[in-house]
Amino acid sequence: MKNTVFSTWASVIIIALILAYLLIRLFKLENWLRAVRLVLSLPRPPAVPVFGNVLMVKNCTEFLDFLINSNRYYGLLTGAWISVIPIVVIIDPEHARKILLNTKETQKNFIYTFMDTFLGHGLLTTSGTKWRTHRKLIQPFFHLNTLNLFINTFAESSEILVQELRGKSEVKMSTFINVVVLKILHRALMGIPVHDHDTQAISPFNKGHLVVLQRLTRPWYILDNIYKFSSISKYESTQRLTLKEFAKKILDERRANVGKGEWCLLDSLIKVSETNPHFDDKNIVDEICTFMLAGQDSVGSATSFTLYNLAKHPEIQQNVVDELDAVFRDYGGINGESLNKMVYLEQCIKETLRLYPSVPVISKKLVEDVQLGKYTLPKGLNVLISLIGMQRLEDYYQNPNKFDPERFAPGNQKGLNQNAFIPFSAGPRNCVANKFALMEMKAIIAMVLRHFKITLPPDYQLQLRYRVTLRARGGIRLRLQPREQSDLRQ
């Protein structure tokens, strides 16, 4: 009798579990079907069966053209497909604001999931409670008073860059910029001195490479059980192991030498881990890897594009140099006060980020239905927000493709729609390190322009490419002409 009762209850439990699983699957299927119906109702680029629009994504030129001009081709809401995954592309600032400023919109979508294998679970890829906790713990590191501690690192690293550029008449400037940015990150995040050439040389962060697009453009690799057997997955896993082993080695060294050397982010994370048992070494390593990889790509790109714009527009470059002359005369060099006074240079950086945002498109997964005009975007939908297209809309920027730093002059900013300029994203998931990045870029660009007049080689034509961040195909090449000492008015 007891066996019969037990068997009956076991059957009920099993049936209940099966029904629960089917209901969950049905609910997800219902959301997918709603998303499919929405995309089919929207204007959209031609798609290929099974592949969807991944062939367009694979073609950098075509994809960037789509991101910049989708409103002209298809309107403010555009449907698209990544294989069988329905996507909606957003280019309207008001639509973007409604999604980004919603405090519930902290869910990562499948594109960020693809980064987990490489980055681990840091701020960029996590969601929900873990993301909120980590953000709260890390945020204080990027307060202005803390950032001022790294100004000497910005200045010292920029001086090294100047020394390396001396005697050169034409360089691939983006390569040099990437090196100096990496030096700064090694020092600020892991405490590795900028003059520690041996450690810098063996650092695997010199070669870190995301393979998200390679996976995204092969629909069969969307499935983890297939992807894990691919050569791309093996390469990514090897990279991940190398990066994490290096970060763990530095972590162990910092913990063994607490209080020695200059303070860095790693020291703060170690301190956090001592009072927060859930923030263990794995979390520390994941966050360090995230900041190292995301920081070098985004800042390196923005700095190089700013120098390109200044080389292309000599009259604007001269305005920056005139400002630097006055700032250096009053404050003597790179410090907190001088960086704060580089107002026109900051305008040039912002205008560059408007035209060439380091991350030209950001992605979100909706955690609830969102109403945009006459369309209801269903829960679970993956959306792409085209920053590079939004920030070039004629409705918000007169002559939008022109490089014009005056757009961001103090007297003109009131006329700008702040929702139409979000190179660091917006809302709760905006870039936590945006102030750090801006100070870093100012210091590097100021030191270059104090010592060199920069121009474009006659045969150089900028061609954009996209690999999660925006790049210049073949790098950015510049000509250098040393400034006479008499030109440096201090």
The annotated binding site is made up of 431
In 3D, which of 137, 60, 68, 132 has the Cα closest to residue 103? Answer: 132
- Pair 427, 370: CB distance under 8 Å: no
Burial class from Cβ neighbours inside 10 Å (0-12, 13-18, 19+) for residue 163 reads: exposed
The number of angstroms, rounded, from the C-alpha of 215 to the middle of its chain's C-alpha atoms is 19
**Inter-helix orientation angle 343-355/281-312, to 10°:** 100
Annotated binding site for heme: 431
CB atoms within 10 A of CB 322: 12
Integer Cα distance of 468 and 55 in angstroms: 16
Integer Cα distance of 135 and 257 in angstroms: 26
- Pair 391, 359: CB distance under 8 Å: no
